[in-house]
Amino acid sequence: MKKITADLIINAYAQGIFPMAEKATSLDVYWVDPEKRGIIPLNGFHLSRKLAQKIRQKPFDIRIDTSFIKVIEGCAASMAAQGRKETWINDQIISLYAQLFDQGYVHTIECWHEDNLVGGLYGVSLGGAFCGESMFYTVTDASKVALACLVARLKAGGYCLLDTQFITPHLSQFGAIEISRHDYKMRLAKALEVEGDFYSLPVNSGPEVILQSLTQTS
């Protein structure tokens, strides 16, 4: 079996494939190419009144790309807390994605409160596609705010595809839909022709800037 490297992972994402581990203690990973793929259409993101109000209240200090290891460890711990028998994030996944973070392919959206990380998400940015990997929260609504901030950032940066891998009831409330593998790969190919700018939206953007980006259509 070919050794999995950070470069190999990027090549796999460009083909619509991503890695997972069977469980945290697994020594290897396997490749996933689902027949059905979850995405959130960026112009179809559902922003509820409650979430918009929460963003306006600015309950969290939103940081970008400051603490990848804490975010991915938070995601792994969250899966266990939500009743999953095992997390698919093992040591190899953490090591490989840390390399991708250092190379600028992986980004985090982080929600902090009183210098404690209370929620966030991470994913892989490739061209005009952002492949969301996982999210977590330890304080109510932190992951929702992180996702909204991600969508605002992607829209401002000219992205055209937000991949969620699979559909969950949690993601469905934000407008996530399921499409075929063929449809996904067609959209991915178009997205790879685009050069998204993850930092187009200033890191210290306030609530009104975030909400304006979320409600704009292209």
**DSSP structure string for 4-56:** P-HHHHHHHHTTT-EEE-SSTT-SS-EEE--SEEEE--GGG----HHHHHHHH
Per-residue pLDDT of 148-184, as tens digits, reads 999 999 999 999 999 999 998 889 999 999 999 999 9
Domains of the chain by start residue, with CATH: 6-215 (3.40.630.70)
Task: Report the pLDDT value the prediction gives residue 212, as an integer from 0 to 100.
Answer: 95
What pLDDT, in 10s, does the model give residues 78-108? Answer: 865 444 455 678 889 999 999 999 999 999 9
The CA distance from 163 to 42, in Å, is: 10
Q: What is the pTM of this model?
A: 0.93
In 3-state terms, what secondary structure has residue 189?
helix
Please provide the size of the chain in residues.
Answer: 218
pLDDT of the residue at 216: 87
Q: pLDDT confidence of 2, banded at 50, 70, 90?
A: low
Cα–Cα distance, 79 to 170 (Å, whole number): 13
Structure confidence at residue 81 (pLDDT) = 43
pLDDT(26) > 80 = no
Integer Cα distance of 76 and 65 in angstroms: 18
Confidence of residue 195 (pLDDT cuts 50, 70, 90): very high
Pairing verdict, β 61-64 and 116-126: unpaired
The answer, yes or no, to whether residue 30 has pLDDT greater than 90, is no
